[in-house]
Structure 1
């Protein structure tokens, strides 16, 4: 039994020290394993395309919050996939979501554009309780973001495929109704076949005039041409932490759009020590035949 780490080597050293202290009986290898047949646990952003050299592999732990970078159809059926549940990821995502929501609520893109042109012009402030914020995706991150936004007094709603009941949040599985009542849309959906390209002309057309987009999900969920068209019409502004393609080419028009703020996929970054603790807890649970926190439903993709 062994662990193989296939990601950033510097972070791997942090993992190695944590494993040496917590599970000294479990060999931990970075980059390659002397005996691939001994590898039961793998930690990676993307695993090797061919896993036939690892016949005893049980679990692959993603080093990031998402698992859409994995080709789940190519993985052996007996191999479980575990997403990263390092607690700092949620805290950072809440910070970014609150930052972006408040920035768009208070017209920061317009003020930044005015500043570039030396214009001193006040815009009318809107009351938070008359601004309807909707979060698409009510998993761990979506729920944390809604909790983080609650103190500001926004009218909050959440959309998910499965019914949810969250205090103070209008939860629904009716996407059309959700979009129609959303002034600031926050996308935190996982990337699946159903959500790929979901932020398109039809979705933007279903939002109220003057709505805003905060995209913190995955770049491939966004049709950038549809966003550009929407910004010429009913959409007031957008904050993009993920893009399509990613990164955006240097000459892409969204970089210089006066009502768009682009950040380079920095909403959340995994802390290596906390990430190692999450993987250690998952391995301990698996060895004890207990449920593994973060184990995804491979059929649903999350």
Structure 2
């Protein structure tokens, strides 16, 4: 491994530098790396781009020396189709993201499973003495069995929920009924008393939950979307809330922040959370960036490389 400094360009919004600089430098030190981290490296002198899709870099053509683009975000739909990107692209997968998503998903699954809203908001002081079923009598379906979806599914299995999972390609996870393909999607939806969307956004998943697929959900189903806003047809969801959907808890939207006049804000059976289900946390994510730079300098395969033909 070279002992000369490698040059890492921090290509995120300038206001993020304060939060990221110290954790990244600490992670580089812990990994035994000599890294010149800066926001100002010339493109032709940059070895690695520490990247956020809303940052200053959109044209990767000048980065002729860059060995990899290391994203700080889990989602890559904003970059994967960029024709100037010829360098390897790694998405962010780290323990902080995983744990944050598991906590949000299990918290809201339990909220709806237990019927907590009726007790928290009870202005009439009604004595609601109706215990919920036990977890093993409730089916939760997770669309998407990648890093985050699989982690959430495993946590729900540990709580003894009946868990179905769907993915584009066949997968196998202990304790989870794994389905795939178009026929498997119909079956997964038909079972879903609580549906969790954790798919990446690709041309194949854009508006996946349209009117026809929403109609396949059981009467009284609940939808949780911490994945991507464009997975759902907003108008179709609003119509389904008057038909077969009991509640939708949404953390992601087609336009963010969600416009104040959007119907979701005022709908009595919609909960809006402001894209907080899982956030990249510098303390843990910096170690992933450092490990990928270590791998790049050692000639080892990068972690979490994006398959650009698949879109994630």
State the TM-score, normalized to the length of structure 2. Answer: 0.89
Contact 1:219/1:246 (CA < 8 Å) preserved in 2?
Answer: no
Residue of structure 2 equivalent to 1:168: 175
Partners of 2:72 and 2:227 lie apart in 1 by 16
Return 216-225 or 20-29, whichever deviates more. 20-29
Deviations 1:73-125 (A, max 9, x none): 32333x1111112211111110000011111112234555x53x535252742
The 2-side partners of 1:257 and 1:220 are apart by 19
Find 1:90's aligned residue among 92, 95, 98: 98
Greater CA drift, 168-177 or 123-132: 123-132
Deviation at 1:42, TM superposition (A): 0.5
Residue of structure 2 in register with 1:43 after alignment = 50
Say whether residues 1:269 and 2:279 are aligned partners. Answer: yes
CA contact (8 A) 2:164 2:177 kept: yes
Are 2:52 and 2:73, in contact at CA under 8 Å, matched by a contact in 1? yes
Residues paired across the two proteins, number? 297
**Aligned Cα RMSD in Å?**
1.9
Per-residue deviation, 1:11:
2.4
Cα distance in 1, alignment partners of residues 31 and 139 from structure 2: 47
Q: How far apart are the structure 1 equivalents of 2:280 and 2:167?
A: 25
Aligned counterparts of 2:154 and 2:291: Cα–Cα separation in 1? 26
1:3 aligns with 8
User: Residue 237 of structure 1 contacts residue 259 of structure 1 at CA under 8 Å; is this kept in 2?
Assistant: yes
> What's the CA shift string for 1:145-179, capped at 9, x where partnerless?
01111232211110001111111110011111111
Cα distance per residue 1:236-289 (max 9 Å; x no partner): 111111122222111222112212211111111222122111011011112222
1:178 aligns with 2:188: yes
Is contact 1:110–1:258 with CA below 8 Å preserved after alignment?
no
| Structure 2 segments unaligned to the other structure (5+ residues) | 1-5
- Alignment partner of 1:29 is 2:38: yes
| 1:59 lines up with 2:68 in the alignment | yes
| Secondary structure, aligned partner of 2:60 | coil
Check 1:82–1:9 CA distance in 2 against 1; reply closer, same or farther (3 A cut). same
Distance 1:123 1:189, change over 3 A: farther
Runs in 1 of length 4+ with deviation above 6 angstroms? none
Match of 2:3 in 1: none
Q: Distance in 2 between matches of 1:20 and 1:152?
A: 39
Query: Structure 1 residue 101 and structure 2 residue 106: aligned?
Result: no
Q: What's the offset of the Cα at 1:136?
A: 0.6
CA-to-aligned-CA distance 1:9-45 (integer Å, 9 cap, x gap): 1123222343356455332112x21x32111210111
Instruction: State yes or no: 1:129 paired with 2:139.
Output: no
1:151 matched to 2:158? The reply is yes
Structure 1: segments with no counterpart, 5+ residues:
none
Kept after mapping to 2: 8 A contact 1:159/1:172:
yes
How far apart are 1:71 and its partner, in Å? 4.5
Give secondary structure in 1 for the equivalent of 2:106.
helix
SS of residue in 2 equivalent to 1:176: helix
The structure-2 alpha-carbon separation of the partners of 1:123 and 1:131, relative to structure 1 and needing over 3 Å to count, comes to: farther
